[in-house]
Amino acid sequence: MATCGEVLVRLLEAYGVDTVFGIPGVHTVELYRGLPATRIRHVTPRHEQGAGFMADGYARVSGKPGVCFIITGPGMTNILTAMGQAYGDSVPMLVISSVNRTEQLAMGQGRLHELRSQQAVVAGVAAFSHTVLHPNQLPEVLARAFALFASTRPRPVHIEIPIDVITAPGDGLPLEPRPLPGPPGPDPAAIARAAELLAGATTPLLVIGGGAVPAAKEVLALAERLGAPVINTVNAKGVLPPGHALHAGENMAWPPLREALRTADAVLAIGTEFGETEMYPGPLPLRFDGKLIRIDIDPEQLVRGFSCDLPIVSDSRQALRALLDALPASALRSSDGVSRARALREALPALWWPAVRTHQRLLGVVQEALPEAILVGDSTQPVYAGNQFFQPAAPRSWFNSSTGYGTLGYALPAAVGAKLAAPDRPVVVLVGDGGLQYTLPELAAAVEAATPVIVLVWNNRAYGEIRTYMQDNGIAPIGVDLYTPDLLAIARGYGCAADRARDHGHLAELLAAARGRERPSLIEGMEEPPFVLE
């Protein structure tokens, strides 16, 4: 007899799941009974929040949903922050948890791990949460989750299964995945109107978000067809090749980009919320005097915030392919698009705060030593700086938690997930000493999972960004200057290689050495000369 839990893992495998992140507990052990009979790898973090961050990093690099097995009660409350980050950044994540027995639900009898309602707790950070009350419901609920991941805005899904349902007989349940719908295509009339507006524009401009990543080839083709400068958000970095002549910059807080958006006679925004985390350090309302066209897979997003002239509900790739086909062969390429993009790029460095120069040099060393690396960042000074200028070699190669939900402690576990998704590429963690201490024990998980990530720690012995913010606003810094332990000793204790970089040349040597290791490496850079450039 196969139990419902054993059928579950076979169905996950059938849907293409190859990795699950989780910490077994007495309420979830029956989910593990069938794992050895599959090809699914299990990775054990040191905290359920780490499981969620690992699933997030895995999903961002692979494009597939990250899957977690989570214990009832405290396991679910522990993973909520990771689900919030994934929800904010539209990352596909499937969280499968146990819950108390069906006859015990909502009874308040003081059962182990009991919550009054896990669904209510999870509601704000999940596309949906469903309680499987009978084994026959399992195939349908799983199909709903994977249909959402395949065809609409991807966000976390939570499925909870009572302990007695996990162990119930699952014989007779189908073991084949259900056919899934593809993403929606655009309305032909809307595409025709968009083509008309763009073909007639003399100063077109593109804004690309994370939703444009699957359409990187089409974005490039359209930008070059129109001669349109491209503003990218953080999660769209890499969609345009590094150094492309139409790259106009990022961070829509800067006046030159804001003015370009205002004065363009046609702006095409693809897969972006225009979120305030794309306007660091001070978000301000945007204005569009010309026509604003928005393409997004989420219909609600198209009417949130400010109004647009032409909303198009569609998968970005299908919409851009249709738009390229609809543009007339005689469509004039904007003759000054390259010069407009260059003028914007050249205007931005004068607006950067001093630390950006420091980290431009630092990240330049990383990029030169590891040109094909995936860089996974925390909410930390090098990341905020890199968001202003860094151009990775490919999409899905620069992401961090400074966007959306904006948590700390994200980078290390997310990098473990990223490395599992791309084992042949170097993965570099960009993290501060404060953020690292949120999830420092995940070094043990990285060693155990044989994921040789390279942890680059910017140590300023503080929550440096918040300290600066307090000072800039006339507030005496309180609670931001930290006691930071000996991170090198701790890393070595976990079985990692660990060194402190003396200067940029030494950093390059340490990065090269770390690349050849089969275990994680921690490299510490201090906020003091020679790393701080005056």
Question: Which residue has better confidence, 113 or 289?
Answer: 289
Question: Which residue has better confidence, 12 or 278?
Answer: 12
pLDDT tier, 24 (very low <50, low <70, confident <90, very high otherwise): very high
The pLDDT of residue 465: 86
Would you tell me which CATH number, out of the four given (3.90.850.10, 3.30.70.360, 3.40.50.970, 3.90.420.10), belongs to the domain 4-166?
A: 3.40.50.970
Considering only CA atoms, which of 163, 157, 166 is closest in space to residue 138? Answer: 166
Q: Is residue 531 predicted with pLDDT exceeding 90?
A: no
Considering only CA atoms, which of 17, 24, 62 is closest in space to residue 41? Answer: 17
pLDDT in tens, 196-206: 999 999 999 99
Using an 8 Å Cβ cutoff, are 293 and 309 in contact? Answer: yes
Mean pLDDT, residues 378-393 taken together? 96
pLDDT in tens, 154-191: 999 999 999 999 999 999 999 999 999 999 999 999 99
The pLDDT of residue 333: 65
Peptide bond into 530 cis (omega under 30): yes
pLDDT in tens, 430-466: 999 999 999 999 999 999 999 999 999 999 988 988 9
pLDDT tier, 490 (very low <50, low <70, confident <90, very high otherwise): very high
Mean pLDDT, residues 333-338 taken together? 78
Q: Do domains 188-349 and 353-526 have the same CATH topology?
A: yes
Q: Is residue 534 predicted with pLDDT exceeding 60?
A: no
In angstroms, the CA 83 to CA 346 distance is 38
pLDDT in tens, 127-160: 999 999 999 999 999 999 999 999 999 999 999 9
Q: In what order do the strands lie in the sheet with 521-526?
A: 398-400, 374-377, 427-432, 454-459, 521-526, 497-500
How much of the chain exceeds pLDDT 90, in percent? 89
Instruction: Give the domain ranges of the chain.
Output: 4-166, 188-349, 353-526
Mean pLDDT, residues 359-378 taken together? 97
Using an 8 Å Cβ cutoff, are 210 and 272 in contact? Answer: yes
In angstroms, the CA 5 to CA 138 distance is 10
427 three-class SS: strand
The pLDDT of residue 331: 56
Task: Say which residues have a Cβ less than 8 Å from residue 338's Cβ, sequence separation at least 6.
Answer: 227, 245, 246
pLDDT tier, 222 (very low <50, low <70, confident <90, very high otherwise): very high
Q: Which CATH superfamily hosts domain 188-349?
A: TPP-binding domain (3.40.50.1220)
Specify the range with the lowest mean pLDDT, choosing from 36-40, 100-104, 398-402.
100-104
> Which CA distances in Å does 1 have to 133, 168, 170?
19, 10, 7
> Which CA distances in Å does 101 have to 70, 107, 121, 204?
16, 11, 18, 59
Radius of gyration of the chain (CA): 24
Q: What is the mean pLDDT of the chain?
A: 95
Residues β-bridged to residue 442: none
| φ/ψ of residue 430, rounded to 5 | -110, 110
> Which CA distances in Å does 513 have to 188, 369, 377, 416, 508?
54, 10, 21, 19, 9
pLDDT tier, 379 (very low <50, low <70, confident <90, very high otherwise): very high
pLDDT tier, 498 (very low <50, low <70, confident <90, very high otherwise): very high
The pLDDT of residue 158: 98
Q: Is residue 120 predicted with pLDDT exceeding 60?
A: yes
Which CATH class for the 353-526 domain?
alpha beta
In angstroms, the CA 235 to CA 131 distance is 33
